[in-house]
């Protein structure tokens, strides 16, 4: 009898503990659109009433609420148990309950000339002789960028010569770490940050990793914002003076509204990318709609294939569309795999990435007089011949050959490498790390060779020593030379910008169709420059974003559909300035059906057009 009572007491004691141990996660409860009849306070109270109906106390209901979406999107984000989420999902007013899968990822001196924006090549019957002038460079259009924040000191965000902030603007300049109201101006007219979802999963933002404010510690947000709407900056260049020229956004007189919803991943290098939680992104979109942006630019995406009613960017952009706000999104960097798309909602412009007619040449001169084409953005020059070796032949004793061939860490023998150029093959690990291994062993230069699978694909890396990358065919030629002479030598030439044809060409990393949710909707919609684009950068970051890279630069070359997306955002702002009465569908249609004729190649060599399953 005593044993039975003991077990009953144990069960009664355990039940509340079990209830407490049920894992809570963030869910977004979505009701659709507001009817416009309630105040913001009434909306928040209504959201609390739904939480009260499934929570045990008012205190629990209030503490569980992360965001109440009140501007256009009707819904809230809260910490719920699966049972609480299930109860809410059964209510007739609820459209959907979305678990926060959380981890959206954050996916130019020449590109605007290449697409013809600066040379009167747009359709003159529609736009006049010059789209930029006719649109007054996007004057008073407002582009909202949801990303990792902004580096406000960049010359790309100067407000010199700009008119006062439009009276229609309803946004704020939210202060935080290393960011105050003085960092907003007539260019950056608004700045906000969203961290509640991040905090719920990862805890507080570490000062050593990011700023708890709209300030950009990464570079990605500043790069995308300046590509869309950066001012014209003369003599801008990447580290080492590479790609020097006038850096400009597509709509340099448009206004910028910053919505920081993407944060550094704790304990990981910035090169691994940012993370953007669903609930934070949706809060940013909701505020942007209420603030009065004209264009939303999101260079972020989620790789999982979610139906549209479970996709917060699709939901948020649908509400933006109802207010005639155009949303432009990156297609993702999952190529060349098929059906690798992100952001497939039919009401957004989904942007793929393509190359332009510029490459960064850094040839290799061999001791026999043969020149092998190479490509690089390494800022370090070499002005003489040096001994040349193959990494496999200068490995440390006992190191497997395949590791030495790839210049893996601690594989090279300093006695054999000192003062030499080393030929390494691409493989495991970062390309930049291979140059570090060569430098650590005393090498003066790196020739990074493609393997047979990579062929002649071009890889650009900002190495710490003189370095260049060669295709597989070039690598074979260099190896044949090394083994044909007793004292092989080589020189790596400094980087030069060179013209390239044919262009454009699709970037290998650009995500492809078919649309995995609805194959009847062709995606991506459009392609734009996304390969080695020069734009503003965070001075709290480095060109490689690696923790041991202490270099700093005001402008950086970066690649991805993240870079192609703001190209379209900028042009969309120009079209909207010229045609303020056009619907967002008309703007999307105009972009997708416009080809630019260029005399330099006697053909349509850049195409804003449909790009289905590639």
Q: Residue 495 burial by CB count (10 A; 0-12/13-18/19+): exposed, middle or buried?
A: buried
Query: Of the listed 113, 147, 311, 549, which one is catalytic?
Result: 147
pLDDT (tens digit per residue) in 308-363:
888 999 999 999 999 999 999 998 888 778 888 888 899 999 999 888 777 888 99
284: Cα separation from own chain's centroid = 16
413 noted as active-site residue:
no
> 111-357+504-608 belongs to which homologous superfamily?
Peptidase S8/S53 domain (3.40.50.200)
Would you place residue 106 in the very low, low, confident or very high pLDDT band (cuts 50, 70, 90)? Answer: low
* pLDDT (0 to 100) of residue 221: 96
Beta carbons of 97 and 85 less than 8 angstroms apart: yes
C-alpha–C-alpha distance, residues 28 and 88, integer Å? 11
Domain 25-99, classified CATH 1.20.1250.20, yes or no: no
Chain Cα centroid distance, residue 467: 26
What are the pLDDT digits (tens) for 462-506? Answer: 888 999 999 999 999 999 999 999 999 999 999 887 776 666 777
Average pLDDT over residues 150-171: 95
Q: Which residue spans of the chain are classified as CATH 3.40.50.200?
A: 111-357+504-608
Residue 136, pLDDT score: 74
Most confident of 233-237, 250-254, 478-482: 478-482
Q: One of 47, 48, 183, 220 is an active-site residue; which one?
A: 220
Asked which of 51-65, 440-454, 564-578, 597-611 is least confident by mean pLDDT, the reply is: 597-611
Residue that is written with structure tokens 């603030």 in the block: 291
Confidence at residue 69, expressed as pLDDT on a 0 to 100 scale: 94
Q: pLDDT at residue 444 above 50?
A: yes
- Catalytic residue list contains 220: yes
562 in catalytic set: yes
- Between helix 312-322 and helix 278-291 the angle, nearest 10°, is 10
- Among the listed residues 106, 462, 562, 569, the single catalytic one is 562
Q: Report the alpha-carbon distance of residue 602 to residue 606 in Å, rounded.
A: 11
Q: At what angle do helices 561-578 and 584-592 cross, to 10 degrees?
A: 120
Phi, psi (deg, nearest 5) at residue 281? -65, -45
Confidence of residue 593 (pLDDT cuts 50, 70, 90): confident
pLDDT of the residue at 104: 61
What pLDDT was estimated at residue 117?
54
Segment 49-68 mean pLDDT: 90
Note the pLDDT tens digit of each residue in 254-311.
999 999 999 998 988 888 888 999 999 999 999 999 999 999 999 998 766 778 888 9
| Cα separation values, 310 from 306, 375, 542, Å | 6, 43, 36
Question: Looking at the domain 359-499, which fold is it?
Answer: Glucose Oxidase; domain 1 (3.50.30)
pLDDT reading at 611 higher than 60: no
What is the torsional sign of CA 301, 220, 78, 102? positive
Is 70 exceeded by the pLDDT of residue 102? Answer: no
Instruction: Name the band, by pLDDT with cuts 50, 70 and 90, for residue 600.
Output: very low
Written as one string, the DSSP assignment of 45-91 is HHHHHHHHTTSSSHHHHHHHEEEEE-SSEEEEEEEE-HHHHHHHHTS
Is it the case that residue 7 has pLDDT exceeding 70?
no
Q: What is the pLDDT of residue 263?
A: 95
Calculate mean pLDDT across residues 566-593.
Answer: 91
Give residue-wise pLDDT tens across range 9-33.
Answer: 444 444 444 444 457 799 999 999 8
pLDDT-based confidence at 397, cuts 50/70/90? Answer: very high
Summary mean pLDDT of the chain? 85
Listed in sequence order, the residues at least 6 apart from 374 whose beta carbon sits closer than 8 Å to its beta carbon are 361, 362, 363, 364, 447, 468, 469, 470, 474, 492, 493
Give the orientation angle of helix 220-229 with respect to helix 561-578, to 10 degrees: 30
Q: What is the pTM of this model?
A: 0.86
pLDDT reading at 456 higher than 60: yes
Residue 114 has pLDDT above 60, yes or no: no
CATH 3.50.30.30 residue window(s) in the chain: 359-499
Residue 606's pLDDT is what? 36
């Amino acid at each position: 009898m005593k044993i039975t009572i003991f077990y009953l007491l144990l069960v009664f004691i355990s039940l509340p503990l079990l209830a407490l141990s049920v894992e809570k996660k963030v869910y977004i409860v979505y009701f659709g659109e507001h009817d416009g009849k309630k105040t913001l306070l009434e909306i928040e109270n209504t959201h609390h009433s739904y939480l009260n109906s499934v929570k045990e106390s008012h205190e629990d209901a209030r503490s569980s609420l992360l965001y109440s979406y009140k501007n256009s999107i009707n819904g809230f984000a809260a910490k719920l148990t699966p049972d609480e989420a299930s109860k809410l999902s059964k209510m007739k007013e609820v459209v959907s309950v979305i678990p926060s899968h959380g981890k959206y990822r954050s996916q130019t001196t020449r590109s605007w000339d290449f697409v013809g924006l600066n040379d009167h090549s747009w359709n003159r019957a529609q736009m006049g002789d010059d789209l930029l002038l006719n649109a007054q460079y996007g004057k008073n259009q407002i582009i909202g960028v949801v990303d990792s924040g902004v580096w406000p000191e960049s010359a790309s965000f100067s407000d010199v010569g700009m008119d006062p902030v439009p009276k229609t603007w309803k946004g704020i300049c939210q202060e935080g770490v290393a960011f105050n109201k003085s960092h907003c101006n007539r260019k950056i007219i608004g700045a906000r940050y969203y961290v509640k979802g991040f905090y719920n999963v990862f805890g507080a933002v570490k000062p050593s990793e990011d700023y708890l404010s709209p300030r950009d510690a990464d570079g990605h947000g500043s790069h995308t914002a300046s590509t869309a709407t950066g001012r014209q900056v003369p003599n801008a260049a990447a580290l080492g003076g590479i790609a020097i020229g006038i850096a400009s956004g597509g709509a340099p007189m448009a206004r910028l509204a910053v919505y920081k919803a993407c944060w550094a991943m704790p304990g990981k290098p910035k090169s691994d990318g940012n993370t953007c939680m669903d609930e934070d992104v949706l809060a940013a979109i909701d505020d942007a709609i209420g603030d009065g942006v004209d264009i939303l630019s999101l260079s972020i995406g989620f790789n999982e294939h979610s139906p549209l009613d479970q996709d917060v960017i699709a939901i948020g952009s649908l509400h933006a569309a109802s207010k005639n706000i155009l949303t432009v999104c990156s297609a993702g960097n999952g190529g060349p795999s098929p059906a690798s798309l992100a952001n497939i909602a039919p009401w957004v412009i989904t942007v793929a990435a393509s190359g332009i007619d510029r490459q960064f040449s850094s040839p290799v001169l061999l001791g026999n007089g043969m020149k092998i084409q190479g490509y690089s953005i390494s800022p370090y020059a070499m002005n003489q011949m040096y001994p040349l070796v193959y990494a496999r032949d200068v490995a440390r004793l006992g190191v497997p050959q395949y590791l030495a061939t790839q210049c893996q860490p601690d594989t090279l023998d300093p006695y054999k490498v000192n003062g030499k150029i080393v030929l390494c093959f691409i493989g495991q690990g970062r390309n930049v790390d291979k140059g570090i291994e060569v430098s650590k062993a005393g090498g003066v230069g790196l020739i990074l060779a493609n393997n047979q699978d990579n062929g002649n694909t071009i890889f650009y890396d900002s190495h710490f020593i003189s370095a260049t990358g060669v295709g597989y065919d070039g690598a074979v030629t260099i190896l044949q030379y090394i083994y044909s002479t007793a004292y092989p030598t080589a020189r790596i030439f400094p980087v030069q910008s060179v013209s390239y044809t044919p262009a454009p060409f699709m970037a290998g990393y650009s995500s492809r169709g078919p649309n995995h949710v609805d194959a009847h909707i062709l995606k991506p919609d459009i392609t734009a420059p996304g390969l080695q684009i020069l734009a503003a950068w965070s001075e709290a970051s480095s060109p490689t974003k690696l923790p041991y890279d202490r270099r700093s630069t005001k402008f950086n070359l970066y690649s991805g559909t993240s870079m192609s997306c703001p190209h379209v955002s900028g042009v969309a702002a120009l079209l909207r300035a010229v045609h303020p009465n056009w619907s967002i569908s008309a703007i999307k249609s105009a972009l997708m059906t416009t080809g630019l004729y260029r005399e330099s190649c006697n053909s349509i060599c850049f195409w804003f057009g449909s790009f289905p399953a590639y």
